């Protein structure tokens, strides 16, 4: 365990930035703190970096408490959201800053800076001033400036939020590869779920200073532990329901009144529980033909269709006041126009292994 | 990006200030130059002609000494003012918005009172029979009043007091503009608070420091009120020589010659300074 956070709490007046947050990070892990703005994810990062002091709790780096150490005594480095490059220093001097502070000898300093510059692909830009760099290049300088110190943990505070979409996507892949190659533990803060799912080994979803769920990306997406996580990551349809029966394979529910739904998946509910059944829009199949016996099904009327290019999004009314969203892949050009029309009655079907329940 | 059309329209707005500058700055400057090479009238006044006698007159050791003293006083004063102003500006830049506006108010407050009145109030404060001496004697801190009036110390008190806002404000402006995450970045990379100050804060504040130095040094060189009121007869500066030449000696050409020389020397100082000492400033960090 390289980084351990124990019962960290931090309040700003009436606002809770962190409440009883505990985390353990393994060496070489790519860890992501995900949440909406104001959920406290940046505060946790700042407490690890040493810019904020927790009201209570402890932070241990390699088993040593660092909670009370100033930022310059911690073996962690930060990539700031706005990069915070020193405007009066060129790329080389920005990157070598940490090494110069530590008094590393010229020879070693030069090798390590060259290494870092090559690592992020900034060769040839050593003499440029930060103001002469593009956003993507500035981000690389910030990354190199932190990594050149070979910290035990690298903290990244929304490092891609200032980049435009294409560059951010490209950077995403590069960052994952870089992290794998150098093996330094990354703590990555973002509000962008795609970034979190695509990059991290583990994701902690935060809301109002509390970690709602901490799991691998697949677990977060497939088995959201709370309604907040289910809604925040991707999109989700919710049905109020009751558990009718449970058996070793799963359970049977009644949703939206009397529609019977079979869920072939272990869950900790018992008969009679009020639950919420959740299913992702892309797991629903829309058809004019009725269901197979291995499928759950419910009927509804198309109320709205929105063409999105790769998919068409339909809003289906199951009964007045109860609608679900379905994503249909446009795998036939003909399906995008005049195939399903508003007002038409359709079957919605899904596999008995799809979906999940949480207690209401 | 602004369109070309708009920029051209803005040019029109430059005419009134340009007119103002030409009429009230360039023309008088030219008059001073012309007077400085004209003959002196017997009963004051100026007789047209061309002579360099007034400039030659300047090299009289008396005037050279006063000029040297003025440079020295202005330099020491600039150093003193800078030393006092920097901590104020620093504190202000990192204070809360509320404290910031209160301090800003306090710094601007003196401008609401006439300069002469402020100088005479300093006299009532530091005079032999002034409040400070009375207070110190009454509390037994000293047995006899301190002679501050009519000494160089009084001159410096006046100058530092007068220049403080002109030094504090530009330094504050450059520190206030600074991105505070730069300080965090520096500490994150292992620099202590003090090294962060030296490496990051100080360089960022230099444009303000340099502006403050110019705003302090240049007006001090030409000031004649403070040495006259607070410094007494032994502490005259070049500004006093100029006023005396115009008012008492009624030697306008000589006064003009000193003024022209002063302007020239200060101009050379400032140009050299801007060219070689002021750090080359890149465009402010593109931090987004």
**What CATH number is attached to the domain comprising B268?**
1.10.3720.10
Report the chain B residue with the minimal C-alpha distance to residue A142. B185
Would you state the pLDDT for residue A339?
Answer: 81
Chain A residues in contact with B185 (beta carbon < 8 A): 78, 80, 84-86
What is chain A's Cα-based Rg? 25
Q: How is residue B120 written in tokens?
A: 């005479």
In a domain, B47, yes or no: no
Would you state the pLDDT for residue B3?
Answer: 54
pLDDT band at A47 (very low <50, low <70, confident <90, very high): very high
Would you state the pLDDT for residue B42?
Answer: 82
> What's the whole-number mean pLDDT along residues A143-168?
94
ipTM over 0.85: yes
- Integer CA distances (angstroms), B15 to A92, B9, B22, B107, in order: 46, 11, 10, 33
User: Could you give the residue ranges of the DSSP H alpha helices within chain B?
Assistant: 4-13, 15-21, 27-36, 53-58, 61-93, 97-108, 115-126, 131-138, 152-177, 181-188, 193-196, 202-222, 225-226, 238-247, 252-272
User: Could you give the residue ranges of the DSSP H alpha helices within A224-342?
Assistant: 227-232
Task: Assess B186–A contact: CB distance below 8 Å, yes or no.
Answer: yes
Chain A residues in contact with B182 (beta carbon < 8 A): 84, 86-87
Would you state the pLDDT for residue B284?
Answer: 37
* A254-263, B157-166, B278-287: the lowest-pLDDT one: B278-287
- Count CB atoms within 10 A of the CB of residue A105: 8
Closest by alpha carbon to A230, among A297, A194, A192, A277? A277
Closest Cβ–Cβ partner in A70, A129, A149 for B189: A149
Share above pLDDT 90 across residues of chain B, in percent, rounded to a whole number: 68
Chain A residues in contact with B191 (beta carbon < 8 A): 72, 97, 101
Torsion angle of the four alpha carbons B19, B23, B29, B35, in this order, in degrees rounded to the nearest 10: 150
Closest by alpha carbon to A101, among A86, A87, A114, A115? A86
In a domain, B154, yes or no: yes
Verify whether the Cβ–Cβ distance A88 to B282 is below 8 Å.
Answer: yes
Closest by alpha carbon to A325, among A308, A338, A153, A335? A308
Task: Assess B190–A contact: CB distance below 8 Å, yes or no.
Answer: yes
Closest Cβ–Cβ partner in A85, A98, A135 for B285: A85
Verify whether the Cβ–Cβ distance B287 to A83 is below 8 Å.
Answer: yes
**Chain mean pLDDT for chain B:** 89
Closest Cβ–Cβ partner in B184, B203, B285 for A71: B184
In a domain, B142, yes or no: yes
Would you state the pLDDT for residue B285?
Answer: 35
The per-residue pLDDT for range A124-141, each reduced to its tens digit, is 999 999 999 999 999 999
Verify whether the Cβ–Cβ distance B182 to A102 is below 8 Å.
Answer: no
Q: Using the structure block, give the residue that is written with the tokens 């079957």.
A: A347
Report the chain B residue with the minimal C-alpha distance to residue A51. B184
| pLDDT surpasses 80 at B34 | yes
* A12-26, A76-90, B270-284: the lowest-pLDDT one: B270-284
In a domain, B223, yes or no: yes
In a domain, B267, yes or no: yes
Q: Which of B185, B193, B201, B279 to mutate to test the interface with A (most CBs of A within 10 A)?
A: B185
Chain B residues in contact with A72 (beta carbon < 8 A): 187-192
Let me know: does B74 contact B217? Beta carbons within 8 Å.
yes
| pLDDT surpasses 80 at B8 | no
In a domain, B272, yes or no: yes
Q: What is the C-alpha separation between A83 and A159, in angstroms, rounded?
A: 8
Chain B residues in contact with A84 (beta carbon < 8 A): 179, 181-182, 184-185, 287
pLDDT band at B186 (very low <50, low <70, confident <90, very high): very high
In a domain, B121, yes or no: yes
> What's the whole-number mean pLDDT along residues B69-81?
95
Q: How far is B89 from chain A (nearest CA, A)?
A: 21
Would you state the pLDDT for residue A340?
Answer: 86
Verify whether the Cβ–Cβ distance B188 to A85 is below 8 Å.
Answer: no
Beta bridge partners of A239: A277
Would you state the pLDDT for residue B279?
Answer: 52
Chain A residues in contact with B184 (beta carbon < 8 A): 49, 51, 71, 78, 80, 84
Would you state the pLDDT for residue A187?
Answer: 97
Would you state the pLDDT for residue A197?
Answer: 95
A345-351/A356-359 β-pairing: unpaired
Give the domain extent around B235: 60-280
Q: How far is B177 from chain A (nearest CA, A)?
A: 12
Q: How far is A135 from chain B (nearest CA, A)?
A: 7
> What's the whole-number mean pLDDT along residues B65-86?
95
| pLDDT surpasses 50 at B1 | no
| pLDDT surpasses 80 at B281 | no
> What's the whole-number mean pLDDT along residues A270-295?
89
> What's the whole-number mean pLDDT along residues A261-288?
90
| pLDDT surpasses 50 at A77 | yes
3 state DSSP class of A337: coil
Chain A residues in contact with B174 (beta carbon < 8 A): none
Chain B residues in contact with A76 (beta carbon < 8 A): 188
The pTM (predicted TM-score) of the whole model is 0.83
In a domain, B265, yes or no: yes
pLDDT band at B277 (very low <50, low <70, confident <90, very high): low
The pair phi, psi for residue A75, each rounded to 5°, is -85, 50
pLDDT band at B7 (very low <50, low <70, confident <90, very high): low
The count of structural domains within chain B is 1
pLDDT band at A294 (very low <50, low <70, confident <90, very high): confident
| A189 or A291, greater pLDDT | A189
Task: Assess B192–A contact: CB distance below 8 Å, yes or no.
Answer: yes
């Amino acid at each position: 365990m390289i980084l351990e956070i124990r019962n960290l709490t931090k309040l700003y007046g009436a606002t809770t930035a962190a409440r009883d947050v505990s985390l353990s990070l393994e060496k070489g892990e790519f860890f992501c703190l995900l949440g909406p703005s104001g959920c406290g994810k940046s505060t946790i990062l700042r407490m690890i970096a040493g810019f904020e002091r927790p009201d209570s709790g402890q932070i241990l780096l390699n088993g040593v408490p660092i909670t009370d150490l100033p930022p310059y005594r911690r073996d962690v480095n930060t990539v700031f959201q706005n990069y915070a490059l020193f405007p009066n220093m060129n790329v080389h001097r920005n990157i070598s800053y940490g090494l110069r502070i530590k008094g590393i000898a010229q020879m070693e300093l030069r090798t390590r800076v060259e290494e870092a510059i090559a690592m992020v692909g900034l060769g040839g830009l050593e003499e440029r001033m930060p103001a002469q760099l593009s956003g993507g290049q500035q981000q690389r300088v910030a990354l190199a400036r932190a990594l050149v110190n070979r910290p035990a943990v690298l903290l990244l505070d929304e490092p891609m939020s200032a980049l435009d979409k294409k560059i951010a996507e490209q950077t995403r892949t590069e960052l994952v590869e870089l992290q794998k190659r150098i093996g330094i533990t990354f703590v990555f803060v973002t509000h962008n779920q795609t970034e979190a799912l695509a990059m991290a080994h583990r994701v902690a979803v935060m809301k109002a200073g509390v970690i709602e769920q901490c799991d691998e990306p697949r677990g977060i997406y497939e088995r959201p532990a709370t309604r907040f996580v289910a809604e925040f990551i991707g999109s989700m349809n919710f049905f109020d329901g009751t558990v009718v029966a449970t058996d070793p394979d799963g359970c049977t529910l009644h949703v939206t009144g009397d529609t019977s739904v079979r869920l072939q998946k272990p869950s900790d509910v018992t008969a009679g529980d009020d639950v919420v059944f959740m299913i992702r829009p892309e797991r629903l199949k829309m058809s004019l033909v009725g269901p197979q016996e291995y499928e759950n099904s419910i009927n509804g009327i198309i109320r709205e269709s929105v063409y999105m290019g790769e998919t068409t999004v339909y809003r289906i009314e199951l009964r007045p006041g109860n609608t679900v969203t379905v994503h249909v892949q446009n795998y036939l050009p003909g399906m995008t126009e005049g195939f399903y029309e508003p007002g038409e009655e359709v079957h919605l079907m899904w596999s008995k292994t799809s979906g999940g329940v949480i207690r209401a | 990006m602004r369109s070309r059309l708009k920029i051209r329209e803005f040019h029109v707005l430059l005419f009134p200030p340009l007119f103002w500058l030409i009429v009230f700055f360039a023309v008088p400057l030219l008059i001073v130059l012309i007077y400085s090479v004209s003959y002196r009238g017997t009963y004051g006044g100026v007789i047209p002609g061309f002579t360099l006698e007034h400039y030659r007159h300047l090299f009289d050791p008396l005037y050279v000494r006063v000029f040297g003293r003025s440079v020295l006083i202005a330099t020491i004063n600039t150093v003193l003012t800078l030393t006092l102003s920097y901590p104020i500006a620093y504190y202000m830049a990192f204070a809360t918005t509320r404290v910031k506006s209160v301090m800003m108010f306090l710094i601007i407050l003196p401008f609401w009172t006439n300069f002469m009145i402020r100088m005479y109030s300093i006299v009532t404060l530091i005079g032999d029979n002034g409040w400070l001496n009375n207070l110190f004697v009454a509390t037994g801190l000293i047995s006899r009043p301190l002679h501050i009036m009519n000494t160089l110390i009084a001159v410096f008190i006046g100058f530092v007091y007068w220049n403080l806002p002109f030094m504090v404000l530009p330094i504050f402006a450059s520190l206030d503009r600074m991105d505070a995450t730069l300080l965090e970045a520096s500490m994150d990379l292992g620099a202590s608070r003090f090294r962060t100050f030296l490496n990051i804060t100080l360089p960022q504040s230099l444009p303000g420091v340099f502006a403050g130095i110019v705003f302090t040094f240049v007006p001090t060189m030409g000031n004649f009120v403070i040495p006259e009121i607070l410094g007494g007869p032994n502490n005259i500066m070049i500004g006093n020589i100029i006023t005396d030449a115009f008012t008492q000696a009624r030697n306008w050409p000589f006064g003009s010659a000193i003024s022209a020389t002063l302007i020239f020397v200060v101009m050379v100082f400032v140009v050299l300074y801007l060219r070689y000492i002021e750090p080359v400033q890149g465009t402010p960090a593109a931090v987004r």
